[in-house]
Chains A and B, each alone.
Chain A
Amino acid sequence: MYRYDDFDRQLVHERTEQFREQVKRRLAGDITEEQFRPLRLMNGVYLQLHAYMLRVAVPYGTLRADQLRQLGMIARVYDKGYGHFTTRQNIQYNWPKLDEIPDALLDLAKVEMHAIQTSGNCIRNTTTDQYAGAAADEIEDPRPYCELIRQWSTFHPEFTYLPRKFKIAVTGSPNDRAAVKVHDIGLRMHQNDAGETGFEVMVGGGLGRTPFVGKTIREFIGKNDLFSYLEAILRVYNRFGRRDNKYKARIKILVHEEGIDKIRELVEEEWAQIKDGSLRVDDAEIAHYIEQFAPPAFEALSDDDADFERHKLENRRFANWVRSNVIAHKQPGYAIANVSLKPIGGIPGDATDTQMELVADLSEKYSFGDVRVTHEQNLVLPHVKKADLFAVWSELDKADLGTANLGYVTDIISCPGLDYCALATARSIPLSQRISERFGDLDRQHDIGELKIKISGCINACGHHHVGHIGILGLDKRGKEFYQITLGGDASQDASIGKIAGAGFSEAEVVDAIESLVTKYIDIRESGERFIDTYRRVGMDPFKEVLYGDR
């Protein structure tokens, strides 16, 4: 894993002390709220519905055990004993006091973490595949490039005041687990005809008010040229992106209005000017960063472990957890263990201080001190020996972290919604809890198979409802919470934006509506079809019929 060098340490420390002074000046009345607001936002501090919210970056979703333990400590000391993992591979604290936030940031800095790039119109915290460096299907670990993007983008003088926020996601696997097609820039590692590994570059994806799947601007860019190419895209966006209307300021609007061919022409023109300059990264420097993410010292093991197989036979709950939450590892004898933050009826993405500390301990004992945060609001222990999986699960289970539901109907992405968020128009969490309880039976979940439900409490789509197989958008209708259903969204390599099924449902009706959709799917699915496959085969009409009948 990447460790800060002296430059990183000094940068983060100085920023923390700078913010401490800004808070002091604000509380003394030396600066107004109007002057302070952009300063606090640049440090991840929002003012939400009930209190301040501090959003902390987990760069490319990778955490060391000591970092996760510190996140737990911060939840206990500065908050109310819990944190919320978000769809951006961040963690949010909901109740910090303004004058204590600088101390919280200092405690973060001690473990090489910060809240920079979690807010503001800058290049945000780069996200990637939570299984990076571990997945059996991976072409290459994308994190060295994510780290280079982090270093290139942090406090980039030219891109600190972009027209709007800017999000980059990277996948090193053909199976996209980072939703790269719905980011401002999506990077997909692949090999060209010459056998070189590089990136397909996609631009203009995004959710929110105007959802789009990103368009390919370049089929292949070599690793050495990646950063100059990113710079060229950002320059074009910074120059031509709309600043007259915040709702039309994202690069997706520019791509949509100008067309990808025109944008490509502008980017290539810009790139031609800078591609051989200082942003060309040579092989030695790339090798240095690859070395930072060198695989841990795996033991040479057989891929079959007799105890592991025995535990599966003897303990059905463990076997169920393995079936849903354990993923193939590239190293024989090892596995990737997903830690569900979606207990049945629980709040998606929330973890208590003690849960964070437990996962930190388990990672230290069983996973080389490596933990990941997923954009689907779960945690991952990426390198667990198969022989240790039963011990890991047993400890997780005792702490309500052993739910066997990864990718199933209860593994719901949900934004904080109106329970916390100042922008939301309806609640999301209670709805996710009720759906989770309705479908909580594990056998039923297994029978339904992969089904991604995603819920947003407003049009900004933090809950990614547009790319849910079933998406739910909470709206305010004459003072009452209403929920609009979309079908057919997908965040994977086959990304698609869901279509609105029809009129919305009241809070009382919506869980039954979801059940009707699931029942219909089971009724008409063909062998091996997931919900999204069936929807793609039969279209909206059969589902619309069960939702609305003659209405």
Chain B
Amino acid sequence: MSLQVVTANRLEDGLVVFLTSNGSWSENINDARIADGKEAADALLAEASAPELDIVIVGPYLIDVEKQGADIVPTKYREVLRTKGPSVREDLGYQAV
């Protein structure tokens, strides 16, 4: 079972966010809470899917990640792009922050 985190889009601006350890949402994947194993992942997704979060985020789901030193890195390229922003405009998206 791979490591997983929960990602979603923030309702107000649509930007990509990740569920953190304290139950808030961060634009930085390195703040994300990691679930190790299916049970922990299911619990994480259930927390992110609480009805009251419907006015905070849209469409939460689990993604596979791996630890690379201190960094959390998605294993699928689609999620790498969501995490960083478009590869063709490095002046935009989170990599530009």
Which of B9, B13, B14, B86 meets A419, CB within 8 Å?
Answer: B86
What chain A residues lie within 8 Å of B11 (beta carbons)? 26-27, 33, 98
Is A540 on the interface with B (CB-CB < 8 A)? no
Contact B54 A33 (CB under 8 A): yes
CA distance A232 to B85 in the complex (A): 46
Q: Assign chain A's interface to a size class.
A: 20 to 34
Taking A29-B54, A430-B87, A479-B75 as contacts, is the C-beta distance between A49 and B81 under 8 angstroms?
yes
What chain A residues lie within 8 Å of B54 (beta carbons)? 29, 32-33
**Quick one: which of B45-93 are within 8 Å of A by CB?**
54-55, 58-59, 75-78, 81-82, 85-89, 92-93
B30 to chain A, nearest CB (A): 18
CA distance A99 to B75 in the complex (A): 33
**Quick one: which of A345-360 are within 8 Å of B by CB?**
347
Is B12 on the interface with A (CB-CB < 8 A)? yes
Is A52 on the interface with B (CB-CB < 8 A)? yes
Contact B14 A430 (CB under 8 A): no
CA distance A50 to B10 in the complex (A): 10
A310 to chain B, nearest CB (A): 40
Taking A52-B13, A98-B13 as contacts, is the C-beta distance between A347 and B88 under 8 angstroms?
yes
Q: Assign chain B's interface to a size class.
A: 20 to 34
Is A51 on the interface with B (CB-CB < 8 A)? yes
Is A80 on the interface with B (CB-CB < 8 A)? yes
Contact B88 A27 (CB under 8 A): no
A321 to chain B, nearest CB (A): 26
Which of B55, B58, B81, B85 meets A47, CB within 8 Å?
Answer: B58
CA distance A480 to B76 in the complex (A): 8
Taking A28-B55, A32-B54, A479-B77 as contacts, is the C-beta distance between A50 and B15 under 8 angstroms?
yes
Contact A418 B77 (CB under 8 A): yes
Q: What DSSP secondary structure best describes chain B's contact surface? A: loop
CA distance A481 to B77 in the complex (A): 9
Contact B13 A479 (CB under 8 A): no
Question: Which residue of chain B is the closest to A32 with respect to CB atoms?
Answer: B54
Question: Which residue of chain A is the closest to B94 with respect to CB atoms?
Answer: A50
What chain A residues lie within 8 Å of B86 (beta carbons)? 50, 419-420, 429
Is B41 on the interface with A (CB-CB < 8 A)? no
Which of A27, A50, A80, A430 meets B12, CB within 8 Å?
Answer: A27
Is A433 on the interface with B (CB-CB < 8 A)? yes
CA distance A50 to B93 in the complex (A): 8
Taking A50-B82, A479-B76, A479-B77 as contacts, is the C-beta distance between A419 and B12 under 8 angstroms?
no
Residue of B54, B88, B89 ringed by the most chain A CB atoms within 10 A: B88
A364 to chain B, nearest CB (A): 30
Taking A27-B55, A28-B55 as contacts, is the C-beta distance between A418 and B14 under 8 angstroms?
no
Contact A419 B88 (CB under 8 A): yes
Contact A98 B75 (CB under 8 A): no
Which of A33, A418, A433 meets B78, CB within 8 Å?
Answer: A418
**Quick one: which of B1-59 are within 8 Å of A by CB?**
9, 11-16, 54-55, 58-59
A482 to chain B, nearest CB (A): 12
CA distance A480 to B89 in the complex (A): 21
CA distance A52 to B58 in the complex (A): 11
A344 to chain B, nearest CB (A): 15
Question: Which residue of chain A is the closest to B96 with respect to CB atoms?
Answer: A80
What chain B residues lie within 8 Å of A32 (beta carbons)? 54
What chain B residues lie within 8 Å of A408 (beta carbons)? none
Query: What 0/1 readout, one digit per residue, does chain A (195-236) give for beta carbons within 8 Å of chain B?
Result: 000000000000000000000000000000000000000000
Contact A49 B82 (CB under 8 A): yes
Is A95 on the interface with B (CB-CB < 8 A)? yes
Is A97 on the interface with B (CB-CB < 8 A)? yes
Query: What 0/1 readout, one digit per residue, does chain A (48-61) give for beta carbons within 8 Å of chain B?
Result: 11111000000000
Question: Which residue of chain A is the closest to B83 with respect to CB atoms?
Answer: A50
**Apart from A51-B9, A419-B86, A419-B89, what 6 extra A-B contacts exist at CB < 8 Å?**
A33-B59, A49-B82, A51-B15, A97-B12, A98-B14, A419-B88
16 contacts between A and B (CB under 8 A): A26-B55, A27-B11, A32-B54, A47-B9, A49-B81, A80-B92, A95-B92, A98-B11, A347-B88, A347-B89, A419-B89, A429-B86, A430-B87, A476-B78, A479-B75, A481-B77
User: What 9 A-B pairs come out closest when comparing CB atoms?
Assistant: A51-B14, A52-B14, A29-B55, A419-B86, A97-B13, A429-B88, A419-B88, A33-B58, A32-B54
